[in-house]
Amino acid sequence: MKPATKAAREALTRAAAAAHGVHLRDMFAADRQRFARLSISWNDWLLDYSKQRVTADTMGLLQDLWAAADVPGWIALMRQGAAINHSEGRAALHIALRHPAGKGPILHGGRDVMPGVQGELEKMRRFAAAIHGRHWRGATGEPISDIVNIGIGGSDLGPRMATRALAAFRHPELRVHYVANLDGADLSTVLAGLQPRTTLFIIASKTFTTQETMQNAASARHWLVQALGEAAVARHFVAVSTNLAEVARFGIDPENAFAFWDWVGGRYSLWSAIGLPLVLAVGFDNFSRLLAGAHAMDEHFFSAPAAENLPALLALLEIWNSNFLGAGNRALLPYSQSLSLLPRYLQQLEMESNGKQIDRQGLPLDCSTAPVLWGEAGTNGQHAFYQLIHQGGRLVPCEFIVCRQPDFPLPGHHEKLLANCFAQSEALMRGRTLAETTAELATSGMAPDQVALLAPYRTFPGNQPSTTLLLPRLDPFNLGALLALYEHKVFVESVIWDINPFDQWGVEYGKQLASRLLPIIEGKAAAAALDSSTAGLIDACKS
């Protein structure tokens, strides 16, 4: 972290030592106002962090860290379009993608990016209207019934997650599918249920060079051309990319290419034309509401003081848990089937952004950065890995997300979902002492020797920190705000850790080695200078 944060860090280290051995249940017992003190509202959201191992003093020290790291100064740089992605010489202006038309310019290199942003949005709107209105016809004159988005990473996870999240808003007739994996099983199983005549492919790739996407696109093209001939490509393929020259080389009509810009990082690109499959899935009006929600969160992030700023609070709590209490992970637990892909989406957003070990000066960091993010929709996770969180002996900060109202209101379901969510955070916080367990088993009529035998197994340490984010409902506006919340959380953390969250050089090395191994596996090059394991594995495949 930056030298300027030294005093704040030292104070936090002392606070962490003092907090050692203090149990959350005792904190609640000592302060009846704890929930009121350590929870905040925004719009009709509620963020309850009273079950985190913090006091009001700890929060004050964390806010000192925010100030010492000059987070407000970095927010200003982001908004000005400065090249804060310094290792790639780029701005990070995803906020422009949800900036409302007519609300003033957003400058990049002295030029307003908003006319370009609005132009692409309008093109997406018209395209969706043509597909939904059945005016866009395939090569045989039939309307499109199935969309297949081919992309990976940021060109897949965002629209895929949001399409599931907004399932309640889906277009009744159009089906939207996603293919990402290089494993032919992914494309093959999706295509197995489709007809070339009524299928439209979106090839989504910022660079239009990503191996997985290009291979899947080539195989999809082959599938279509075999059935309908080469001339059909123009009616069945559109592309989303920053590399329009490569799009044209693939044979996609430039009219059917949707652009975005190098100042949009892949994992921040849902709001751009990368959101096209989502527009088709839920309609342009709902996509506009998603953008409006994200913009509302942007405004909140830019203006609220750290103590009332949702992204700041989530970031500061993560830093407290990981850098001062030593947690190496965080469990994301949405009690919402529709948000079941959120953990996967946030794995890229958080870990690809902040999984770094070199600071902005090019020096090794003196602290750990992004903790491992994992998770699963509740209540499913309760029947899989919660045992470890309750009794596994590891510190696992948990983040619960739940909505007051269901998006699919089946009688009897939602109250039980809420009860389970709140019960888990309560159990994780309180735990159950040996004395309590012993008393409970004895009252149940169990024989004393059995009670003595079983009580230790049924005792829970508790003191497991958690945050609960309670949303009114899962709709496009709230989803947009939720995703923007996490984008800004990641940014705040990066500023405090003094790292660049917008590059991902770590991913490149594996890609480079895969290109070196491919000709060896294909038998076109000799295996030279390989370690014995890699060489042995390749030999085993060939034989």
Residues belonging to the active site: 352, 383, 511
Q: Closest CB to ligand F6P among 347 and 382? A: 347
Q: What is the DSSP letter of 54?
A: -
Task: Tell me the closest approach of the beta carbon of residue 399 to ligand F6P, in angstroms.
Answer: 23
Number of Cβ within 10 Å of residue 109's Cβ equals: 9
Q: Closest CB to ligand F6P among 59 and 152? A: 152
Burial of 257: CB neighbours in 10 Å, binned 0-12, 13-18, 19+: buried
Task: Tell me the closest approach of the beta carbon of residue 383 to ligand F6P, in angstroms.
Answer: 31
Task: Tell me the closest approach of the beta carbon of residue 216 to ligand F6P, in angstroms.
Answer: 11
Task: Tell me the closest approach of the beta carbon of residue 442 to ligand F6P, in angstroms.
Answer: 56
Q: Closest CB to ligand F6P among 132 and 267? A: 267
Both tokens of residue 193? 């249920």
Amino acid identity for residue 66 in this structure: W
Both tokens of residue 182? 């290089």
Task: Tell me the closest approach of the beta carbon of residue 352 to ligand F6P, in angstroms.
Answer: 6
Both tokens of residue 372? 């491992």
Q: How far apart are CA 246 and CA 179, in angstroms?
A: 20
Q: Closest CB to ligand F6P among 423 and 507? A: 507
Q: Closest CB to ligand F6P among 24 and 152? A: 152
Both tokens of residue 114? 């908003």
Both tokens of residue 394? 């590891």
Q: How far is CA 327 from the centre of its chain?
A: 20
Q: How far apart are CA 295 and CA 195, in angstroms?
A: 39
Contact positions toward ligand F6P, by CB under 6 A? 152-155, 205-207, 210, 213, 266-267, 352, 504, 507
Q: Closest CB to ligand F6P among 195 and 357? A: 357
Contact 500, 360 (CB under 8 A): yes
Cα Rg of the chain, angstroms: 25
Using DSSP's 3-state secondary structure scheme, residue 274 falls into helix
Q: DSSP per residue over 449-495, as a string?
A: HHHHHHTTTT-B-----EEEEEES---HHHHHHHHHHHHHHHHHHHH
Q: DSSP per residue over 311-365, as a string?
A: HHHHHHHHHIIIIIS---EEEEEES-GGGTTHHHHHIIIIIIHH---B-TTS-B-
Contact 38, 54 (CB under 8 A): yes
Q: What is the DSSP letter of 525?
A: S
Q: Closest CB to ligand F6P among 151 and 381? A: 151
Task: Tell me the closest approach of the beta carbon of residue 267 to ligand F6P, in angstroms.
Answer: 6
Q: How far apart are CA 350 and CA 356, in angstroms?
A: 11
Q: Closest CB to ligand F6P among 439 and 507? A: 507
Q: How far apart are CA 7 and CA 166, in angstroms?
A: 45
Contact 424, 416 (CB under 8 A): no
Phi and psi at 461, nearest 5°, equal -70, -30
Q: Closest CB to ligand F6P among 162 and 228? A: 162
Tell me the β-bridge partners of 175: 146
Q: Closest CB to ligand F6P among 288 and 504? A: 504
Task: Tell me the closest approach of the beta carbon of residue 475 to ligand F6P, in angstroms.
Answer: 26
Task: Tell me the closest approach of the beta carbon of residue 380 to ligand F6P, in angstroms.
Answer: 27
Q: How far apart are CA 400 and CA 422, in angstroms?
A: 9
Q: How far is CA 505 from the centre of its chain?
A: 19
Closest CA to 504 of 92, 97, 94, 213: 92
Within 230-341, residue ranges assigned H as helices are: 233-236, 244-250, 276-282, 284-303, 310-319
Both tokens of residue 347? 């794995």
Contact 153, 266 (CB under 8 A): yes
